[in-house]
Chains A and B, each alone.
Chain A
Amino acid sequence: MRAGSMGVSIAVNTLNVTLDLSALAKMKWYEYVVVFLSGGTITVIAGLLAREFGPAFGGLFLAFPAIFPASATLIEKHEKEKERPAEIANNDRGRQAAALDARGAEIGSIGLACFAFVVWKLLPVWNAGFVFCAALGAWFLISTFIWSVSEIYRRKTN
Chain B
Amino acid sequence: MEFLFRFIVGGLIVSLFSAMGGVLKPKSFAGLFSAAPSVALATLTLTIFKNGKPYASLESRSMIVGALSLFFYLALCSHLLMKYKIHAAMVTISGLALWLLCALGAWALVLR
B6 contacts A47, CB within 8 Å? yes
B39 contacts A123, CB within 8 Å? no
User: Is B32 on the interface with A (CB-CB < 8 A)?
Assistant: yes
Interface residues of chain A: helix, strand, loop or mixed (majority): helix
User: Is A119 on the interface with B (CB-CB < 8 A)?
Assistant: yes
Residues of A within 8 A of B111 (CB): 56-57
Tell me the bound Cα distance from A41 to B110 in angstroms: 27
Residues of B within 8 A of A107 (CB): 31-32, 35
Interface string of B74-104 (1 = CB under 8 A from A): 1101100110011111011100100100011
Tell me the bound Cα distance from A27 to B15 in angstroms: 12
Name which residue of chain A comes closest to B9, CB basis.
Answer: A43
Q: Output the least CB separation between A97 and chain B (Å).
A: 5
Interface residues of chain B: helix, strand, loop or mixed (majority): helix
A139/B112 contact (C-beta < 8 A), A41-B7, A65-B99 known? no
Which positions in A face B, CB cutoff 8 Å? Answer: 12, 15-21, 23-24, 27, 32, 35-44, 46-48, 50, 55-69, 71-73, 75-76, 91-92, 94-113, 115-117, 119-120, 123-124, 128, 132, 135-136, 139, 143-144, 147, 151
Closest 4 pairs (CB-CB, A-B): A104-B31, A43-B10, A39-B14, A59-B62
- Can you offer 10 A-B residue contacts whose CB atoms are under 8 A? A35-B18, A39-B14, A43-B11, A55-B58, A55-B62, A65-B92, A103-B78, A111-B35, A124-B53, A135-B37
